[in-house]
Amino acid sequence: MQTTDRLVFITMLNSRPDIATEADVRLLVDTFYAKVNHDALLDPVFNGFAHVDWPRHLPRMYDFWSGLLLGTARYQGRPFPKHIPLPIDATHFQRWVALFQATVDELFAGPTAAEAKLRGQAIAQVFEARLRERGSLSIL
């Protein structure tokens, strides 16, 4: 294989699409929460404490992320209050961010993917700070 052919092959292997469609958002959300459901730190919070109703929760997350990344306006809600009673600390937010960013990187590349990672980080920081103000968390 010639050098040029090798570069084309490597580029093809490494190329990932950007987040551009509702199907992309669903893939991101579904893949991410599948990881959450297998994570030793986050699974007990989502499934043991919060008893998340996944068939209801996932469509809300599709709408939430579609709004942030694709500019749709379907999400109606206030996500922060649902987090107040959860037994979480900065470690949980750090793990959430790490899993979210790894999922984005695994599936997508481009400006919207980069925006998704920034938004995920920002949301985690704001939620963690607001919960810390209530005296329930340490610094991220």
Please choose, from the candidates 13, 58, 18, the residue with its C-alpha nearest in 3D space to the C-alpha of residue 36. 58
pLDDT at 14: 62
pLDDT tens, position by position, 104-139:
999 999 999 999 999 999 999 999 998 887 764 444
Provide the 8-state DSSP code for 19. S
pLDDT at 57: 95
pLDDT at 132: 82
pLDDT tens, position by position, 17-52:
999 999 999 999 999 999 999 999 999 999 999 999
pLDDT at 137: 44
Q: What average pLDDT does this structure show over 2-20?
A: 66
Provide the 8-state DSSP code for 47. I
pLDDT at 138: 46
User: b/e string for 98-117 if b means 16 or more Cβ within 10 A?
Assistant: ebbbebbeebbbeebbeebb
Sign of CA dihedral 109, 112, 113, 114: positive
Contact 86, 99 (CB under 8 A): no
Contact 32, 97 (CB under 8 A): no
